[in-house]
Structure 1
Amino acid sequence: MDSSKTSARPPGLVWQFLGGMGYLVRGLRLWVTSPRLMLLGALPALVVGLFFATALVLFAINLESLATLITPFADRWVDPLRAGTRIAAGTALGAVTMLLAVYTFVAVTLTLGNPFYERIWRAVEQRMGDAPVEIDEPFWRSATRGIGSGIRLFALTATVGLSLFAVSFIPIVGQTAVPVLGALLGGWFLTLELTGFAFDARGLRLRDRRRMLGARRASTLGFGVLTYVLFLVPLGAVVIMPAAVAGATMLSRDALASASRQANPATS
């Protein structure tokens, strides 16, 4: 067997997934090397996070009532069919709400804390070398582009959420599949949002982002799923948010480099 061919073989999907998690770990290291910069990035996450945490607590308190409200057809059913249906409805509501809440939290936090997160993104780019040239672009133009991408991503996220809600009513399978699918899809949409800085700075659109990250789907999901899960930990988003911006920048650069090598194999 040719050892050179063996060594050139790409790692398996599991290793790629774990490697994707490594981007967030590398982002967390900036808390040690650049604590002041990361603390600035944590402030918007703290402010927005307090609002979202309050809303989610209220949602959790009323989850049982909400599950009953959306399943009036089960009022006259006997247990355990009635109870099972409402447990499924509650599971679906919880998964969909968390999916939309995490994505919306990131979108709102990135918008409100744009100057801080742009500094983190730029610092990572400069440390890694070959940073994109700064373009003197009017604020309204970049804001309009960012809002447009955010709206499209939110629409996709909401559509996926409705699909998950429907799947949740499949007995046994629904209650198992919905939380897992929620984490996978939530991680994907989360990564699309967080990688906006690096791709936008290079004049690339949302469809380019989806294509290039999709070519490295396992590592993209590894980063996104870990970030998504840690965002669900109380106060986790405050610590993770600036690290996620840094990690997403590293992931973006590798995705861009991989796409460049595939487009120009002679130069790789």
Structure 2
Amino acid sequence: MRMRDLGVGFGYLMKGQRWVAGHGRWFGFGLLPGLVTLVLYTAALVGLVLGADDVTAWATPFADDWSSPWLGIFRGTLTALLFAFGLFVAVITFTAVTLLVGQPFYENLSEQVDRSEGGDVPHSGLPLWRELWISARDSLRIVLRVVFYGVLLFACGFIPVVGQTVVPVLGFCVSGFFLAEELTAVALQRRGVELKERLALLRGRRMRTLGFGVPLTLAFLVPFVAVFLMPGAVAGATLMARDLVPDPAAGPDPTADPDPARPGPYTFRKTDQAD
């Protein structure tokens, strides 16, 4: 059952990429925010690479008198962990910042996916400034959670064997979970689902969420890939959100677990079924 759920989550990701491949105008529309954010993050990561050695030396003055090769090994390990931590945070915050920068773009893209799939298109009914504020607030809360887990995993990285095997796997799972939360938030916010409820929904479909988020996290580690996958990721997350919180008129989700927890009511506005 768990392996099946992983496959279902990965299927959302693939369906989203196929959706934007079949709607080229929306694919190009969704690239713009990612390109802007990529430039900013590339500059930040280059700065981290150039300054990581100095930061490590500044943080470990007690090791200045250590003999070779222990000084090099110790600080080299810390420098690698510092960069890994920065990359870990960058993978998560990239999505949050891109979604914030491209809020109007991705809202329209997500609505178009809902429209093309049939049924009514949900709308929050909030003005744009209010949606931006909620998105920024929730993104900050997610980033704080990510930083907490990142620091915890960073510390666990010093545990022999476990730090080099189990910890990286846990890091990718944490990244994948919160990456999926950020992406599904675009569609779930329009359905009136608050952050606490979104996290509960995703925890209730943990394996499905990881099946969607972990492969995307791994793909985002490849330069420029995140930019080109973002439109399809938003589309796939919208398809996933449609199953997490389906249109009441559509009936129950046949792939859902028995008696799943559901959030409060949300609103729909009927629109034309235009492509």
Match runs of 1:197-236 below 5 Å: 197-236=186-225
Deviation string 1:216-242 (CA, Å, 9 cap, x unpaired) is 111101111111111111110110111
Aligned AA for 1:262? D
Gapped runs of 5+ residues in structure 2?
Answer: 247-252, 262-275
Q: Which residue of 1 aligns with 2:177?
A: 188
Q: Match of 2:99?
A: 110
Asked if 2 retains the 8 angstrom alpha-carbon contact of 1:96 and 1:182, the reply is no
TM-fit CA distance, 1:260: 9.2
2:88 matched to 1:91?
Answer: no
**1:70 aligns to what?**
59
Partner of 1:46: 35
Segment of structure 1 superposing worse, 86-95 or 217-226:
86-95
Instruction: Compute the displacement of 1:14 (Å).
Output: 2.6
How big is each residue's C-alpha offset from its partner over 1:91-145, in whole Å with a ceiling of 9 and x where there is no partner?
3212221122122221111111112111111111112223443344222222222
- Please tell me whether the aligned partners of residues 124 and 189 of structure 2 are also in contact (alpha carbons under 8 angstroms): no
Identity of matched residues, %: 38
1:243 corresponding residue in structure 2: 232
Distance 2:88 2:153 in 1: 10
Residue in structure 2 matched with residue 101 of structure 1 by the alignment: 90
Offset, 1:263: 5.3
Distance apart, 1:80 and its partner CA: 4.9
CA distance in 1, matches of 2:40, 2:101: 13
TM-score (norm 2): 0.83
Take 1:136 and 1:17, find their aligned partners in 2: how far apart are those partners?
Answer: 34
Is the contact made by 1:95 and 1:182 (CA closer than 8 Å) also made in structure 2?
Answer: no
Q: CA RMSD in A?
A: 2.2
Distance 1:47 1:252, change over 3 A: same
CA distance in 1, matches of 2:126, 2:10: 33
Cα separation, 2, equivalents of 1:78 and 1:171 = 22
Q: Which amino acid aligns with 1:160?
A: Y
SS at match of 1:203: coil
Change (3 A) 1:84 1:256: farther
Q: Is the 8 A contact 1:91 1:168 kept in 2?
A: no
Gap change, CA 1:15 and 1:86, over 3 Å in 2? farther
User: What amino acid sits opposite 1:255 in the alignment?
Assistant: L
Asked whether the equivalents of residues 168 and 178 of structure 1 are also in contact (C-alpha less than 8 Å), the reply is yes
Q: State whether structure 2 residue 150 is matched by structure 1 residue 161.
A: yes
- In the alignment, what sits opposite 2:25? 36
Is the CA contact (8 Å cut-off) linking 1:95 and 1:178 kept in structure 2?
no
Structure number with higher helix proportion: 1
C-alpha distance in structure 2 between counterparts of 1:80 and 1:218, whole Å: 43
- Which among 123, 130, 138 is matched to residue 149 of structure 1? 138
Residue 191 of structure 1 deviates from its aligned partner by: 1.1
- TM-score, structure 1 normalization: 0.85
Q: Give the distance between the partners of 2:75 and 2:159, measured in 1 at CA.
A: 12
Match of 1:139 among 118, 124, 128: 128
Counterpart of 2:153, as a letter, is L
Q: Do the aligned partners of residues 263 and 168 (structure 1) sit closer, same or farther apart at CA in structure 2, a change above 3 Å counting?
A: closer
Paired position in structure 1 for 2:8:
19
Q: Tell me, in whole angstroms, the C-alpha distance in 2 between the residues paired with 1:118 and 1:125.
A: 11
Amino acid at match of 2:131: S
Indicate whether 1:174 and 2:163 are aligned.
yes
